[in-house]
Amino acid sequence: MRRYILRRLCLLPLVVLGVTFLLFFLTQRLSPEMRASLYVKDPRQMGALEEVIREYGLRDNVFKQYGRWLVQVAHGDLGYSPSANMPVAQALKKYLPATIQLAVVTMILVVFFGVWFGAASAVHKDRWQDFIARFISVGGFSLPIFVLGLILLMIFYGKLGWFAPGGYSIQTDIIIHSSAFKTYTGFLLIDSLLNGDLRVFCDVFAHLVLPAVTLCIGSFALMVRVMRSSMLEELNKDYVRTARAKGLREYRVIYKHAGKNAIIPVITLAGIQFIRLLGGTVIVETIFDYPGIGRFGVLAAQQLDIAGILGFSLMVAVLFVIGNLFSDILYMAADPRIRLE
């Protein structure tokens, strides 16, 4: 097991290098003028691109240029992003906490409701509860998040006016940028509590509701499905019959005995899904204008902001690879029969 983890850790930088090289190679299709923006630190330099091209040798071969880009990244300089109007490193630092916050809230929703619906569906097999849960698990899997997002926006913002898009309201914006508001972690949900400002907390949370509900749909469908089949399997086992035979009350049999065992696959699945959410945030953040790295990446891609695209991909690749490694380890820890090589 230790050898497996070590091997994966060694491969990690290689894989990330591979991804960035692939993308860097693709950028070579673009004109040197466009690529020069990678090296510009100040919007004012944009006027003198020819100098930048000469200074950084943007007409050299790919490998030389890639090497230089790596050195630059190693120094923490990811270039300047015109689409975000700030250096890429700063943009990533600014937007990442919002995305993680969104993913965590989504995952809590997914696990809580997924386990609840899945268990109810198995306990009441072939009754209406089961029918609803199965309908959700099939339908949720096929409903594109951009369709669901727009429909929710139509109803809950357009019709009811409950949840506005964006990351927070203007009033909150003023509060969190005032000198009285101290930034501890960058996560607004936590920072607002540490500052003792419940209004900010509620506002930030209200802006999280729609994106989180939209984002959870696919994972939720899968979670219901896995919990249902896992629960059905446990309920048919001998120990459940024994528990019933010795006269335990039904809810104890279901929740304390079968439920505890049935939840194991759900936990490992949650680890994998958490990382998968990263892909979905790209669309959800765009629909709800939520200030996370997904929206940053989309804006960069739409405006062909190369520095932004490369920085965003690098960030996502690192998160994704580390996350996958963690979920593999989690998977193995939950089920000792699994041997990874």
Partner 1 sequence: MNLRILKRIYKNKTSLCGLLLVAFFGAVALFAPMLAPVQNEHNPYQLPQSSYQITPQPPSADHWFGTTEQQYDLYYGIVWGARLAFKIGITVTALAFLIGLAVGGIAAYFGGKVDETLMRLTDVVFAVPSLVLAMVIAAMLGPDLKNMMIALTAVAWPSYARLVRGDILSVKQRNYVTAARTLGAGGPRIFLRHIVPNSIYPSVVVASLDIGYVVLTAASLSFLGLGAQPGTADWGQLIAMARNWVLGTPSNSLAYWYTVVVPGGAIFLFVLGWNLLGDAFRDILDPRQG
- Whole-angstrom CA distances from 234 to 4, 129, 211, 237, 243 are 31, 19, 34, 5, 12
Structure-token pair, residue 340: 């990874």
Residue identified by tokens 């998040």 is 145
Q: Give the per-residue contact string, 271-290, with partner 1 (x = CB under 8 A; - = no).
A: -----x-xxx-xx--xx---
Q: How far is the CB of 182 from partner 1 (least distance, A)?
A: 33
What is the rounded CA–CA span in Å between residue 8 and residue 341? 10
Any idea what the Cα angle at residue 133 is, between residues 128 and 137, rounded to 5°?
Answer: 145
23 binds partner 1 (CB under 8 A): yes
Report DSSP state, residue 272: H
Out of 22, 174, 198, 333, the only residue in the binding site for partner 1 (CB under 8 A) is 22
Q: Total number of residues binding partner 1 (CB under 8 A)?
A: 50
The count of C-alpha atoms lying within 13 angstroms of the C-alpha of 138, restricted to the half-sphere facing its C-beta, is 5
Closest CA to 24 of 65, 60, 59: 65
Q: Give the per-residue contact string, 111-140, with partner 1 (x = CB under 8 A; - = no).
A: ---------------------------xx-
18 binds partner 1 (CB under 8 A): yes
What is the rounded CA–CA span in Å between residue 246 and residue 240? 10
- What is the signed CA dihedral for 294, 298, 304, 310, rounded to 10 degrees? 20
317 binds partner 1 (CB under 8 A): yes
Select 124 or 276, whichever has its Cβ closest to partner 1.
Answer: 276
Q: How far is the CB of 112 from partner 1 (least distance, A)?
A: 24
Strand partners, 81: 86
Out of 6, 26, 48, 174, the only residue in the binding site for partner 1 (CB under 8 A) is 26
Q: Which residues contact 89 (CB under 8 A, 6 or more apart)?
A: 76, 77, 78, 311
Q: Which stretch binds partner 1 (CB under 8 A): 53-61, 171-179, 180-188, 311-319?
A: 311-319
Q: Which stretch binds partner 1 (CB under 8 A): 55-63, 75-83, 199-207, 297-305?
A: 297-305
309 binds partner 1 (CB under 8 A): yes
What is the rounded CA–CA span in Å between residue 102 and residue 208? 7
What is the rounded CA–CA span in Å between residue 174 and residue 162? 21
Q: How far is the CB of 280 from partner 1 (least distance, A)?
A: 8
What is the rounded CA–CA span in Å between residue 288 and residue 332? 37
Select 320 or 331, whichever has its Cβ closest to partner 1.
Answer: 320
Q: How far is the CB of 104 from partner 1 (least distance, A)?
A: 17
Residues of this chain, 150-209, that bind partner 1 according to CB under 8 A: 150-151, 153-155, 157-159
Select 102 or 253, whichever has its Cβ closest to partner 1.
Answer: 102
146 binds partner 1 (CB under 8 A): yes
Select 198 or 338, whichever has its Cβ closest to partner 1.
Answer: 338
Structure-token pair, residue 266: 């759900």
Task: Give the 3-state secondary structure of residue 80.
Answer: strand
Contact 138, 221 (CB under 8 A): yes
What is the rounded CA–CA span in Å between residue 197 and residue 182? 11
Select 268 or 313, whichever has its Cβ closest to partner 1.
Answer: 313
* Residue 101 backbone phi and psi in degrees, to 5: -55, -45
316 binds partner 1 (CB under 8 A): yes
Q: How far is the CB of 44 from partner 1 (least distance, A)?
A: 26
143 binds partner 1 (CB under 8 A): yes
Residues in touch with partner 1 (CB under 8 A):
11, 14-16, 18-19, 22-23, 26-27, 29-30, 138-139, 141-144, 146-147, 150-151, 153-155, 157-159, 276, 278-280, 282-283, 286-287, 297-298, 300-302, 304, 306, 309, 312-313, 316-317, 320-321
